[in-house]
Amino acid sequence: MNREDELYERADNPPVAPKRPWYKRMGLGGLVAALLALTKWKTILSFLQGIFVLFKFSKFGVTTLSMLATIGIYAWFYGIWWAVGFVLLIAVHESGHMIAARQQNIPVTAPVFIPFLGALIGLKEPPKDAATESIIAYGGPLFGLLAAAAVHTAAVAFNSPLLFSLAFTGYFLTLFNLIPASPLDGGRIAGAVSPYIWFLGVPLIGLLLWFSFSPILILILFGAVHRAWEFWQHRSDEYYTVDPVFRLKMGIAYLALLTVSGLLTYEAHNMAEALRPRL
């Protein structure tokens, strides 16, 4: 083989460079990014540990800790001010449940915030009937809608994309929560109108899961199927016996809340899109 043939062979089969160790492949930029991420995470952990020491003996310690932790996690992804606004919207929603429960003389626990799931309160006594349960359930979306409307008003006044985003999120979560499938608030409200509506809400959750897979939707779907099946087995139970006048009033109130939430969700979405920066 002459020199020219050797050059052609090397051109057709270039030598494979040895693979560098992972710590060298990261480079200086990757190392700096990893250190910054680690520092940020340790800062959040140190902050949460300090808060725990401060509030561990407080009556509202769990609520405070869970709220701050949720803000910290959302801030990691969406920024601190959006996180604060979003968690406050959730807090107002839960306050609606608490106020409604106390009006029905049912003691409740302080809310516990769960990242990417929302928040929950505990009823120290079960509702006596589906009507009482629907009143407690209705308070959350009602307060949530009013809170989102207040944010929407501020967004218009200040022409703020951040506030429009929060208003849209608040409206959308209220609308989603009104789907007539228990354990969502809409399902608990619909239970006083007619629990048979649950058999429409369950396929709707399944349809949403089909188009947008989510572990949260899976949990909701399982809960909705279980509640619907439980009702079917005990459909003659006195718990579901509700005064017809109350059924009519709650049905109208439910449809009104659902309609207003849908319209305002659409409006806030359009305004947020109009303010979004274009490349």
Among the residue ranges 49-58, 63-72, 166-175, 258-267, the one predicted with the least confidence is 49-58
Share of the chain above pLDDT 90, in %: 48
Cα angle 63-66-68, degrees, rounded to a multiple of 5: 105
DSSP SS3 for 118: strand
Backbone angles phi, psi at 113, to 5 degrees: -95, 135
DSSP SS3 for 16: coil
pLDDT of residue 214: 80
The domain ranges of the chain are 58-275
Backbone angles phi, psi at 114, to 5 degrees: -125, 115
Give tens-digit pLDDT for 214-252: 888 888 899 999 999 999 998 888 899 999 999 999 999
Residue 30: pLDDT above 50?
no
Give tens-digit pLDDT for 43-88: 544 544 554 454 444 455 778 888 888 899 999 988 899 999 999 9
- What CA–CA distance (Å, rounded) separates 208 from 221? 10
